[in-house]
Amino acid sequence: MKISALMTSAGINIGICVLLWSLYSVLRKQPAFVRVYFGRRIAEENRLLREAFILERFVPSTGWIVKALQCTEEELLAAAGLDAVAFNRMLVFSIRIFSLAAILCLFGILPVHYFGRKMHRLEISSEQLHMFTVGNVEVQSRWLWVHSIVLYIISGVACFLLYVEYGHIARLRLLHLKRATLNPGQFTVLVRGIPKTENESCSSDVDDFFTKYHASSYLFHQVVYKAGKVQKIMTGAKKACGMSDPSTDTTLDQRCKAVTYPCCLCGASSDSFQLLPTDEVAKNIDKKECAAAFVFFKTRYGALVASEALQTSNPTKWVTDLAPEPDDVYWSNIWLPYKQLWIRRIATVLGSLVFLVLFVVPVAFIQGLSQLDQLQKKLPFLDGLLKKPYMSQIITGYLPSVILLLFLYTVSPIMILFSTMEGPTSHSERKKSACSKVLHFYIWNVFFVSLASGAVINQLNPSSSTKDIAVRLARVIPEQTTFFITYVLTSGWASLSSELMQLFGLIYNFIIKYVLRMKEDIAFVPTFPYHTEIPKVMLFGLLGFSCSVLAPLILPFLLVYFFLGYVVYRNQLLNVYRMRYDSGGLYWPIVHNTVIFSLVLTQDLIDLDREDQRSGRMEHIHHGLRSAYRQFPDNEDIKLEQILTVGNDEDQDEGCSSGERNGEETCKEQEPEGICVTQL
């Protein structure tokens, strides 16, 4: 690839970035898009922009950049949680280490590469990119010691900075666990694999077991009921019927009518849902317990001991883990049989591997596009088109990375689906699992497969000896790193601009308001997609470490990406995304082992319990545990003990709300006076 092709790709992406950033600075001021760009702030602060015409609203500005940079870490922690701070520290770490790498490599290694061979020099724009890589250095050159020294310096400083950042995040996590706000998960253990007995209920078994083996710390428990889609319909029933006063216990009017919305495209009306009376659908509902329960303890230390200890000799029965935060619970997987989980995990691993292998085909095809000579040989009918300078520059410098980016958009949804099938019991655990899968996918397909395909394959033949293979790979790999520079431009710079613009949110907002003419859902505010953005940042870090010495030209483009990401992500976390739950910084970093910190933490939990007991807060904490893990959070408003879905969902689970008294679960059957149920 020539420098001119790289400059073409850079120019296109810079133009896209400038256009989208300018549009964003204008659209964010418009009242019509306020919920797209300030969803979190509106949901939490109930702020709206003025509808009056102001000329300043239509002029691009940079004030939002200044606000994002001026935001302190404490303000970010209060607004978006410790996960957001950990993600922000990833960007800070990357900026620091690659700033040093850029200084050392651009001024120390790049001249060694360019003047590595005695040859006729062309204009910079006409030079091939491999002239600036280690592939242009002569074999056994006396200047290779420079590469070694720079590599050792970068590695040593990276380890030091990583140690400093780990200590910083560890301190923040300890403060997170010591926070004044009650975290019921510290007192709660999720028990699965409860064995069934013939004569007693699951609730009685749980009470007998923990009274016998954890009598000193056991408080009470709450059995989980199988609800399935019924739980979603119950939540939708309340929203559909407009229950706004939670203090009333009145039943809904049986004479509910279908709600229709006009469509501006055809003028017709559409029945989005129909409200039906309860007595027609709620007849054959049974209370159905599943082999899972939340068990509450008097102290944090008691819950920790119960969660870490092996309860029986059979590891598939009475399985205990610390419960996630109430808002973090993924109810759909709580009632999955524990013995089924290992089958699900094997199936998802196999599915991920198959998807990993199948994705090699488009990556190899994309690598072929980046090599003009190979493309001309395989597709001779394109000779006339490829001889045009601007077309060859676009095809080799811009098109491959764009096609790869489009293919990569399918990765995150598939990986989040695989992670959900594994059976995680919390949203954060599901996203962390998806994050690891996406990261491994990127490292394999974007990095290793890109290196191994294309020119590398073409350079090898059956007659090559082992020595020849090593020499040819050493020559080809530096040339392939130039593809990663264009990938940083497209997948880095352009994707950040797309994230800032919230293109999907704009389209959704337009369809809802102007096509369907529906009222906006005020309660809907998206959460930050850590499982897609963390792998992307870590992949660029991998490219920086692996290519900084081989192809130093990648470092300026990476630095620009990390600086832009620092501004964009802080703005999005402060204004757009809400914090529904917080894993407490466990995303930092995924590759680190958290066992060491867990051991240190276990000494601190005893002190926290003693402090709460001395201050008299423990009784208040115990009282708060009773309402923390509500499987049906809206059951104060509507009597939904008995409900049956309508339609083809004949196999779905049935359920009822639950309450606990004196350590036992009770679920009284009541005939509901009336419920409006949605029929999709």
Residue 270 has pLDDT above 50, yes or no: no
Q: What is the mean pLDDT of residues 226-253?
A: 50
Residue 548 has pLDDT above 90, yes or no: no
| Longest distance between any two alpha carbons in the chain, whole Å | 92
Comparing 424 with 55, the larger pLDDT belongs to 424
Q: What is the mean pLDDT of residues 334-358?
A: 89
User: What is the per-residue pLDDT across 617-661, written as a single tens digit (0 to 9) for each?
Assistant: 777 777 777 777 777 665 544 443 443 433 433 343 433 334 443
Give the range with max mean pLDDT: 152-161, 363-372, 453-462: 152-161
Average pLDDT, the chain: 74
Q: Which range (31-45, 245-259, 507-521) has the least confidence?
A: 245-259
Binning pLDDT at 50, 70 and 90, where does residue 541 land? confident
Joined tokens for residue 153: 């310096």
Q: What is the mean pLDDT of residues 572-587?
A: 84
Give the range with max mean pLDDT: 406-410, 605-609, 628-632: 406-410
Comparing 493 with 373, the larger pLDDT belongs to 493
Q: What is the β-pairing status of strands 319-322 and 677-679?
A: unpaired
Predicted structure pTM score: 0.76
Of the candidates 99, 91, 94, 100, which has an alpha carbon nearest to the alpha carbon of residue 73?
A: 91
Residue 9 has pLDDT above 70, yes or no: yes
Residue 103 has pLDDT above 50, yes or no: yes
pLDDT at 104: 92
Query: Residues of the chain with pLDDT > 90: what percent?
Result: 12
Residue 415 has pLDDT above 90, yes or no: yes
Query: What is 196-249 written as a DSSP string?
Result: P-SSS-HHHHHHHHHHHHSTTTEEEEEEEE--THHHHHHHHHHHHHT---TT--
User: What is the per-residue pLDDT across 17-43, written as a single tens digit (0 to 9) for each?
Assistant: 999 999 998 888 888 888 888 888 777
* Whole-number Å distance between alpha carbons of 450 and 152: 26
Alpha-carbon distances, residue 386 vs 130, 381, 382, 483 (angstroms): 21, 10, 6, 19
Burial class (CB in 10 A: 0-12, 13-18, 19+), 144: middle
So where are the chain's domains? Answer: 3-117+128-179+464-615
